[in-house]
Amino acid sequence: MRSRASRVAFILAAVTVVGGDPTRAADERWVRVRSAHFEVLSDAASERARAVAVDLERFRRVLAAVLGRAPGGADPPTLVVAFRDQDSFAPFRPVYRGRPQDVEGYFQAGSDRDYIAASLGSDGQEASETLFHEYAHVVLNRTLSAQPLWLSEGLAEVFSRWTAAGAEALVGLPAPDHLRRLQRGKALPLARLLQVDGSSPLYHEGDERGMFYSQSWALAHWVVFGRGPTGPADLRAFLSAITAGAEPDRAFASAFGASPGAAEGLLAGYVAAPLPVARFDTSGLDGDVAVESEAPRRAEVEFRLGDLLLHAGRLREARRHLDRAVESDPRFGPAHAALADAAVRQGRWEEARREVALALAADPADAVALSRYAELLVRETSARGEVLSPEREAEAVAALERALALDPQLADACELLARLRPQPYDVRIAQVLLALGRDPARSDLGLTLASLYARKNDFTAARTALLRTGAMARDDVDRFLSQHLLSRLESLTAGTAEVKGTLLALDCRPRGVLRFVVAGAGAPLRLEAPSATGVFLYGRDGGQLERTFTCGPQHEAVTARYRPAPAPSPAPDGVDGTLMSLIFESR
């Protein structure tokens, strides 16, 4: 989000929206403008809405040059709700702990679309920077392998300050508001800045909040543009270390060559001197941007406003908009599906059943409505303290599979299906990974992915998934849960090792002992099992196998988990460890 008072941005970890009567907004005339990657709904003049779409398409081209690739081409268009002024925007402004936030815009993930909500009431340059900042968050959310708050906010500010210069884009222009604050205010210790997350008080309130944003901008600018050509590579090294579980200060010192304390002096000197501006080739920047404008139906506007509020957690006001949508068009299925979602959250089961039936009657191929139907079956049964019957489970699974066939990135459907029917593991893992590609910060998806890997005995991948989920977590609860599950996993696998390679031979030893010879990256390992029943055998999908072994040469791709022999290794009898499980990758 981007603050109106300080012209900086922030994403709230847990927000609702408040203020005024949001149902008034749809009484005004609205326009819809569509471009290749954006859909703009606005109560401003048509020319202003068209300019928003054109500006965002141009900025998308700039980000493609900065990142070296086009962001999310296969994703559905980002929906931008552009309010004509602060009065129109005010009822939709987010709040934290009951206090409205003085912001100009924010990003909100939705079920089927990502939203940007912003006011166009400020001067043109400031409104454009707000929109650029929020779209930078959309792209960075899918690009960064970890999301330290200072970095996500700082990069969004850095990238949003740009201008065209012929066939080039100048990115990272000086920010006078941030520079003034840094010159006049008391800076935060960088070690503290690196630790700030969405639950930190200074992120939401107090005099230090503005300094946090300004220092984040300055530090991100120094990291990517102020340290020479190694900046991007060093940033990737820092993010990799954070994803692997390193402490922020150690990851910072290792990646950027200076401890946080030493970097404070470097950063002070950096912002006191003329700042470098990066140049990127954007020869197609001024190419034509095709846009189409039309007057949307009232039901569509009401639905989108209600859906925006619904995903912010303000159910009462959301329902008002959604009710008005179905009053305007009783067969408008998306509004019925959203009303079903609200009813499920409130435990109004009869109403939820009615609304989801109306949504599916309007469009049986509505992926969101199918997902809501399955969720209704599961949550209503759970609320009654009952166990989902096999018939109901099959019904829910069929609805979820059809929803994902229609929209493979529908995260809610993907997560619920993986819980209800985790096998086949490889299929579910592929589905979760696809959904995570759209929203990598969805902690529930990350935890589900780790569970799927653990179920198929790929503990290394499960650990990686938990580390990444913790690094991307937006609040303390998800971060704690990731760390808790990681601790349990590490306790389970403590003292064990894993090797991926080829099973070369099986040596049948006296008293039924089996010695498996597995070639990995190094020298072949000789791993023993006390008997044929003393080792767990799995297929690549995680299912247990029953098979008869023939002693002698073998040649199969396997992953072996074993307990290494105590030092000195190998043991005097040539055994490198005790085999615990073997996954046959080709079965």
User: What kind and span of H or E run contains 489?
Assistant: helix 476-493
Strand bridging mode 31-34 / 103-109: unpaired
3-class secondary-structure state, position 14: coil
Across the strands, what pairs with 164?
169
From first to last of its 587 residues, the chain has per-residue pLDDT tens of: 665 544 333 333 333 334 444 444 444 689 999 999 999 999 999 999 999 999 999 999 999 999 887 666 567 899 999 999 999 999 998 877 777 777 889 998 888 889 999 999 867 788 999 999 999 999 998 888 888 999 999 999 999 999 999 889 999 999 999 999 999 999 999 999 999 887 787 877 777 888 999 999 999 999 999 998 999 999 999 999 998 889 999 999 999 999 999 999 999 999 999 999 999 998 878 778 889 999 999 999 999 999 999 998 889 999 999 999 999 999 999 999 999 999 999 999 999 999 999 999 999 999 999 999 999 999 999 999 999 999 999 999 999 999 999 999 999 999 999 999 999 999 999 999 999 988 888 899 999 999 999 988 888 899 999 999 988 887 778 888 888 898 888 888 888 899 999 999 999 988 888 999 999 988 899 999 988 888 888 887 777 787 777 899 999 999 999 999 887 655 657 899 999 888 888 76
d(Cα 339, Cα 357) in Å, to the nearest integer? 11
How much is the pLDDT for 570?
57
- What is the per-residue pLDDT for 533? 80
* Contacting residues for 315 by C-beta, under 8 A, at least 6 apart: 342, 345, 346
Q: Edge-to-edge, what's the strand order for the sheet holding 168-171? A: 162-165, 168-171, 278-281
Q: Is the pTM of this model over 0.85?
A: no
Q: What does the buried/exposed string (b/e) look like for 242-264 if buried means 16 or more CB atoms within 10 Å of the residue's CB?
A: bbeebebeebbbebbebebeebb
Handedness of CA 313, 315, 320, 321 (dihedral sign): positive
- Class for the domain spanning 497-584: mainly beta
The residue ranges of every structural domain in the chain are 1-145+288-311, 330-421, 497-584
CA distance 53 to 81: 11
Q: What is the pLDDT of residue 286?
A: 75
The hierarchical CATH code for the domain 330-421 is: 1.25.40.10
